[in-house]
Chains A and B, each alone.
Chain A
């Protein structure tokens, strides 16, 4: 189908990326279909389930309701960009260790919401964690272990931080 396209440049997982995107395409579609980043999941496509959560300029957003041209000039972080130098993010490790993963379809979105939360608030309360996840649906886990994983990751990050400050 022919639709108007626009050239955009943004930082994707730390790498400057330029491409032509259709004005009608969402960020989720561009990530998945143009860039092959299938870790960002699509499900409701109306901003209700959170499976497509990515971080744009430090904020968790539903990439299924963000039009791709809107991220021109922004920094976009997806699940694929979370591991650093081949090492998983502490949130990813905590999800593994706490048993917070079942079918896995909500997992990437959950982790991205958690990442955005901990970037802004490194020491969240249980309530703050639940609020940060309120837009991410999961039908498998019952959420308890997801909340536990984020709590554990926060603790771990704080410990790493404390060591770094001392050192």
Chain B
């Protein structure tokens, strides 16, 4: 697909840039409808920080490398942000663990995390389990107190 080629051409080796580029490709995400938020992601990199400014306005998403004040400032390390944008690390867990800090609006971060992907390997599928297997799994002694 054309869009895929454009995206990979933008920054083939960097999953973070790739993620933000993908976000602006549709430019509109249903999950953000009637939602407004702005965030600055900040990743310390030696003396200067890498920054991404994300603006959400009623479903429309824009990402820039420069910008003004935002509702929230999210600070984290590159490996952590990479893990989050590739679905390997849950944003809420990262926040509780102290891997990510959020200054300003928690609601903005809560809104943003909705566009993060699920863990790689999650299929939504599961094989049915028979009644016999369920019965065997549970302590049979407890059943039918007879």
B is bound to A: no
- Taking Cβ atoms with an 8 Å cutoff, the residues of B that contact A are none
A interface residues (Cβ-Cβ under 8 A, vs B)? none
